[in-house]
Amino acid sequence: MLLDRVKLYIQTKKLLQPHSTVIVGLSGGPDSVFLLYALKALEQELNLTLIAAHLDHQWRANSSKDALFCQQIAQRLNIPCIVRTACQISLDKKYNGSQEELGRNLRRSFFEHLAHEYNAHTVALAHHADDQQETFFIRLLRGATLSGLASIRALHGMYIRPLLSVTKSEILAYLHEHSITYTIDPTNDHTTYLRNRLRSQVLPTLKLADNRFDTNFTKTLQHIQDTENFLERLTTTAFLTITKKENNTVILSINLFLACDEFLQPRLLLSWLCSMGVPFRPSTGFFKELTQFLKQPGPGSHTFYGKWSVIKKSNQAYIQDKK
């Protein structure tokens, strides 16, 4: 039974703890509707408190109908549903990327605000096995690092994805079998989006070429994720060795940093920036820029993003907010 598989996946990956408050992202589409029903089935057993959350992006003239549908289906399951519009969400910084990226960041801001407001432990999202394949190939085409190719994680911070072992076709079959209604986003068929082109053209061809594709893709992705997990542990150990904390400032030993393998250096810089709460967009060029500065002899400072500086003194470096 499909719900039993979802339950087993949640248990195996340790995604939910008993007595948790869970924000459930609900778009009204088949994936999120199935996720809501799946978590409802576990509600009593795990003593969960479920809160459905719908963000109306206001990008379509009739988008308010989706919000109403989400409220109705949540009410049917006796689950509270919080609805917000995009204009009610404030982002900490501007995003100049695609509309898809803007939407993700609006939803993330919305979910995390609700998690804080309702003291929620977890945000559950409805990504499934097909999404995992699409994400992998999108990142492959964009030249992603190994971290990027690890794709969607079942658990990342407060976010969980309980449906990664379930296919889209299985979700649709379950909903149809149980006469559960859902909405359809018309943009899912627009081939202007790379994800949709992969979904409709590339992935079906790969599966037709070799019927082992799904099974072997899952195996390969698991190998990549295992390797990434190992590298994350290695990075954490190395970071503790090359840094020290003084007065809420993480100070980097330049010699110890440069003695680390070049493959590890961008990961160490990432950890350093994150430890200081620096907002940034990770890129190969950005990490090379910082590494080249640290390699230069003598003291100095390097400004990035207009307000942050890396200061070098006596073989040590620290990050300063210029404000």
Tell which residue, 249, 237, 236, has the closest CA to residue 317: 249
Residue 210: other Cβ atoms inside 10 A: 10
- Rounded distance between C-alpha atoms, residue 50 and residue 41, angstroms: 11
Please report the pLDDT score of residue 96 as a whole number: 55
- Rounded distance between C-alpha atoms, residue 93 and residue 280, angstroms: 10
Tell me the C-alpha to C-alpha distance, in Å, between residue 29 and each of 22, 54, 211, 217, 300.
19, 11, 28, 26, 53
Q: What is the tally of helices (H) and strands (E) in the chain?
A: 13, 11
Asked if 2-209 and 240-321 have one fold, the answer is: no
Tokens of 16: 């939910």
Tokens of 227: 């390797």
Please report the pLDDT score of residue 274 as a whole number: 93
Report residue 301: phi and psi, to 5°. -140, 150
- Give me the sheet containing 316-321, strands edge to edge: 243-246, 249-253, 316-321, 308-313, 300-304
CATH number (3.30.465.60, 3.40.50.300, 3.40.50.261, 3.40.605.10) of 240-321 reads: 3.30.465.60
3-state secondary structure 213-247: HHHHHHHHHHHHHHHHHHHHHHHHHHHHHHEEEEC
The one-letter code for the residue type at 257 is F
Give the domain ranges of the chain.
2-209, 240-321
Which residues, other chains included, contact 273 with Cβ-Cβ below 8 Å and sequence gap of 6+? Answer: 280, 319
Quote the distance between the C-alpha of residue 211 and its chain's center: 29
Tell me the C-alpha to C-alpha distance, in Å, between residue 228 and each of 139, 148, 222.
15, 10, 10
Residue ranges in the chain modelled with pLDDT below 70:
58-61, 91-99, 323
Please report the pLDDT score of residue 112 as a whole number: 92
Return the bridge partners of 156, or none: 159
- Rounded distance between C-alpha atoms, residue 74 and residue 95, angstroms: 31
User: 151: phi > 0 → left, psi -120 to 50 → alpha, else beta; which?
Assistant: left
Q: Which fold has domain 2-209?
A: Rossmann fold (3.40.50)
pTM > 0.95: yes or no? no
Side-chain-side CA neighbours of 46 within 13 Å: the count stands at 20
- Rounded distance between C-alpha atoms, residue 124 and residue 111, angstroms: 10
